[in-house]
Amino acid sequence: MSNSRAKSISSNESHDWDSIKDIFATLYVTEDRPLREVRAILAEKYGFNATERMYKRRINHWQLDKNNKEEEMQFLAQKSAERAAIGKRSAFRVRNREITQAALDHYFKRKKISKVGSRKGSSGDASTPPHIVCYTPPDTPTPETSEGSSPDFAPSDTPSTGSDEPILIDSSPTSSALQVARYRPPQEKYWLPGSPNQLESPGHFKSMEILLSATQDFFQSTLIAKDGVDAYHVTQQAMSWNMRKFYVLANSVASYMSEGSWQEAQTAYGQTLEHVGPVLRDRNPILFVCLLQICCKFLKDGQLPALRPLLQLVRAMAAHVHSVSHSMHIICGALLESMDMLADIMTMGLFQAVDILKFRLGMEHPQTCAAGRGLHATLMVSHDYAGALKAFQPVADIEARLANAMRLESRFRIIGSLMAMGNLHQARILIEEAQVMVDTLENPEQKAQLTLGALSTRGEWLRLSRDPRAIAVLSEAYEFAKAHTWLHNGSWSLNARRALRMAKNSALSDAPLVPFIYWF
């Protein structure tokens, strides 16, 4: 934001509320921040000072109340029932807040109240209030399961239709009525290394070219000015930030599915979808890195078939929120076309993202460092450990000078790369230094996350050193993760359990040890 704009906002003797309305709506509604935090940001960054009572009056005047009122939810239920009767699905926007059908159903279940709109004799004549928008959500299939069943995303052995869209197949082992999203591969035969048709279908060079072009367009539209590019949220990583919620929930879907926790995966998947619209409207450059890191997590956990419907929904929502020519719509399309070489296309895209952000914002900007972290994760999953260390070292050098938790996360990434490369001596030195830094942390949330990181990293070092103490340390990490289930929506406890299981298996075998890639 320019200095002149900031000054106009700070000149608030008469409280020029219109000057901060858009900023307030973004922080309070879109990012779902508490009023106390929004007041502090507006006072500190824009010099706008007002009492909490004044803010509450203004919230009512602007109709930005975040609480779901029962009469409004009853109206939505009635409208949804009317549209369902004529074969239409429904989603709503209430005071610029997205409310999906799943969120609507969850509200009535949580409140333990019945839907007036579903009662016999209810009236459907009420007009739609101006602050409520009803629309048909994008027609993208999502995994649906009944309790006790598992969503089947495995490739089908039935004949292909020639389309790479998910097809709803009636294939439940317990109920013929259950439908699940199952991916069927297209009819084209993908080339294998050494075959004479390596440059023919499916045309991955075209997908790469499309991705590179769309990536440039994406950053061109989001990097408006250096002072206007978000650094605050990228640095703070508050749990209330919509982008962080989207990232954490999507990653937890991959973790739950990889461990067979189908019910938890279904719940997390539904919650993830609720954040797609807000993050697309945010126009934050970090969305590109966030999306590719989510893809990387699904790839690491072997859940690519489940990633496909998520990418399809993001693509459809990008068209709904913006247009079919929007860069995020095109990026998702390129990723969907190249699922069998996803690691390569993600690596290429993230290298380009780092170059663009470095040129436009400088290497030290948090957005550039975030892209560097995403590139490191992708290279680690691709088993290019030396390349990951080389690409991430400039970011680690910058974040080593910071006085926040980012420098510790960077330290653990460096340690992970060194251990994967077999440099256990240097890794041990850095582990000891990191433990001292963890002990000095004061923020409870950061300390919990990085304490688990320290335990897990030390346990992995002991495992790779074939030290029998690894099982005890990783057991401690697992118990710590279970006691802090809020860490990454519970998915970190699954990672800790998986690491412990690997340590127990390693103790029973003399086979070469494969490094365990931790996820931040």
| Region label for 104, one of left (φ > 0), alpha (ψ between -120 and 50) or beta (otherwise) | alpha
**Token digits for 127?**
């007009």
- Return the pLDDT at 149: 37
Q: Where are the domains of the chain?
A: 3-62, 70-135, 164-185+202-386, 400-520
Closest CA to 519 of 497, 491, 500: 491
Banded pLDDT at 488 (limits 50, 70, 90): low
Q: Give the other-Cβ count within 10 Å of 94's Cβ.
A: 21
**Span of 46-55, 462-471, 509-518 with lowest mean pLDDT:** 509-518
96 confidence band (pLDDT: 50, 70, 90): low
Q: What is the pLDDT of residues 28-74, one digit of tens each?
A: 876 667 888 888 888 877 778 888 889 888 888 887 877 777 888 88
Q: At 359, list the tokens.
A: 């040129």
CB 432 within 8 A of CB 477: no
Q: Is the pLDDT of residue 201 over 50?
A: no
The pLDDT tens digits of the residues spanning 417-445 come to 999 999 999 999 999 988 888 888 887 87
**What percentage of the chain exceeds 90 in pLDDT?**
25
Look at residue 123 in the predicted model and tell me its pLDDT.
42
pLDDT(124) > 90:
no
Higher pLDDT, 97 or 447: 447
Are the C-beta atoms of 50 and 15 separated by less than 8 Å?
A: yes
- CA distances for 191 relative to 159, 160, 202, angstroms: 20, 18, 8
Q: Residues 336-359: what's their mean pLDDT?
A: 91
User: Position of tokens 């084209």?
Assistant: 188
Better-predicted residue by pLDDT, 96 or 327: 327
For residue 150, the model assigns a pLDDT of 37
State yes or no: pLDDT of 154 exceeds 50: no
Q: How confident is the model at residue 468 (pLDDT cuts 50, 70, 90)?
A: very high
Which residues lie across from 179 on neighbouring strands?
170
User: Which strand ranges, in their side-by-side order, compose the sheet holding 91-94?
Assistant: 97-99, 91-94, 132-135
Is the pLDDT at 125 greater than 60, yes or no? no
Choice among 88-92, 269-273, 282-286, 292-296 with the minimum mean pLDDT: 88-92
Mean pLDDT of 222-237: 72
Altogether, the residues listed in the chain come to a count of 520
What gap in Å lies between CA 95 and CA 29, rounded to an integer?
A: 9
Greater pLDDT, 492 or 302: 302
What tokens appear for 398 in the block?
A: 């910058």
The pLDDT, as a whole number, for residue 389 is 93
pLDDT grade for 354, boundaries at 50, 70 and 90: very high
Instruction: Answer yes or no: is pLDDT of 194 > 50.
Output: no
Would you place residue 403 in the very low, low, confident or very high pLDDT band (cuts 50, 70, 90)?
low
Which residue type occupies 148? G
Least confident of 77-81, 105-109, 291-295, 317-321: 105-109
Distance (Å, whole) CA 111 – CA 94: 19
Any long-range contacts for 486-490 (C-beta under 8 Å, 24+ apart)? 487/448, 487/449, 487/452, 488/248, 488/251, 488/252, 488/255, 489/248, 489/249, 489/251, 489/252, 489/268, 490/252, 490/256, 490/264
